Amino acid sequence: MLVVISDLHFVDETAGEHNLPVDAFRNVFLPNVVALARERQATEIVLLFLGDIPDLVRTQQWFAEAVEDRPWGIRGLQDVPHPRPGSRTLQRCLKILGQMPDNDADPAGADPRSILAKNWDTFAFFRQFESIVTAALGRELPVRLVYLPGNHDRMVNLYPELRDELQRMMGLTVTPETVDGDPASEEWWYRYDFLAADYGVYVRHGHQFDPYNYAGDAAFTRPGHLQVPIGDLVATEFATKLPYVLASLRDKYPAIDDRFIDSMKEGDNVRPISGLLEWFYYSMRQTDDPQLRLALDETFDRVITEFAALTFVQQWHSDRTQLDYWLRALSGGWLRWLPPLLLRLTSTEKVLRLALPFAGQVASSDAVVNEARDLYVQAAYGEPAWRQDPRLRYLLYGHTHTPTLHVLSAPPGRDVLYLNTGTWRSRIFRSVSFAEDVAFVKLQKATYVVFFNENEQQPGPASRPGTASFDVWTGHRHVS
């Protein structure tokens, strides 16, 4: 059995308490996996983490560092692709992720502000996954935990120290079959794609096809994956910074309370990321308190002005996105005066109303409009792997937080499908209306995909003997 989950986004909670409780895995995930393994007489269990597992981007800890030492700052960029030993950027990454104490049974040894500490029980669950599963099954079978980085955990594959810490924290399997390079030496890295021929599966995180979150070459090399994308800055210097700046204004605007700040931290769950402007505008319209509206005005003014002033933003260029033109306008010499002046003369709400038509165009290019226009369906269809290897039937991506399934092709003797593994995080959905009464609603989500090899195939008319098969499990819960 090959079990695939993605986009867990374990965080240090400085930008919001968005971590999954361990009971989600103990009481929902584990019983189903064990039941399937027992029913199908599983020959092995491979648990594949398909990227964006620890989130090193959505954290307010980066604001404790000078801009120059953030991953997109002038000194942080000097670490790519060859890190400077002991750089401040690395040291902050280690504080965000955490470091395993010598006694792996004692959470007191972990930095209380780290991802490790905030998810101690969950990480322990994964470290003990093999013993938990075999005990529940009542028999021994091989269990491996395989990890592929995404964009929010990009730096795990940049710094060897992070690579090793994550392996210890989660009990990841490091062998020549699961990583690139030589695991017996220091020259190894987590893979960016994974082929499981026995299951007919080829996977990658999928951010490689997102121009906002992948800044590398079309060959998908390791140095290409290590390049800093503009999406990192949107996530940290915009989405994460909004509630951070808002909280700093509490003395000036006493109406700002913890509840209001926490509500602004929900921007972390807006997908696609291009919907953030519209969500912020929606949040402003829900606020009747004039003091809070003034606070939001000042917050947005400061955040967007500082964002546009970042050297990385001013120098960033992409021919693949409309956002590129917007950012170049904001940071261009002749228009550099525009954002603060507009925000002084009008209000954030009015400025956002002007920007929303542009934001809507960006969002529509990210959204799944239909199969023919879905960027990730197109990418999966163009993958050479399934064309070159007749054993492959399933192409898997994560990244979008939207579980989906599309038929790509049906050459003689096999069906070729694209699946997306969604997320286990909450997600804020935009209403379908394009009128002014647009709204945003929060849903909790969970998706995982289970593949069976030919020896685990269930007999009966619904199966095809001698081939691989799969189950997709997706759940939603409305959060009012």
The structural domains of the chain, with segments of one domain joined by +, span: 2-226+369-426+442-479, 230-269+273-366
pLDDT of residue 303: 94
SS3 label, residue 179: strand
CA distance 1 to 42: 6
- Which ranges of the chain have pLDDT less than 70? 272-274, 321-373, 434-436, 458-467, 480
Nearest to 264 by CA among 290, 296, 231, 233: 296
Given this model, what pLDDT does residue 358 score? Answer: 45
**The pLDDT of residue 334:** 33
pLDDT tens-digit readout, 92-114: 999 999 999 999 888 999 999 99
Q: Which of 182, 156, 159, 158 is nearest to 170 (CA)?
A: 156
pTM score, two decimals? 0.90
Instruction: State yes or no: cis peptide before 81, omega within 30 of 0.
Output: yes
Report d(CA 78, CA 81) in Å as an integer.
8
* Residue 198 token pair: 């026995």
User: 148: which strand partners?
Assistant: 50
- Tokens 């996954």 correspond to what residue? 129
Residue 284 has a pLDDT of 77
The pLDDT value given to residue 436: 60
Residue 479 has a pLDDT of 73
Q: Identify the pLDDT of residue 353.
A: 53
Give the integer Cα–Cα distance in Å for 53 and 56.
Answer: 9
Please name the residue ranges forming H helices in 71-171: 88-97, 115-118, 120-127, 129-137, 160-170
Q: What is the pLDDT of residue 465?
A: 52
pLDDT in tens, 141-157: 999 999 999 999 999 99
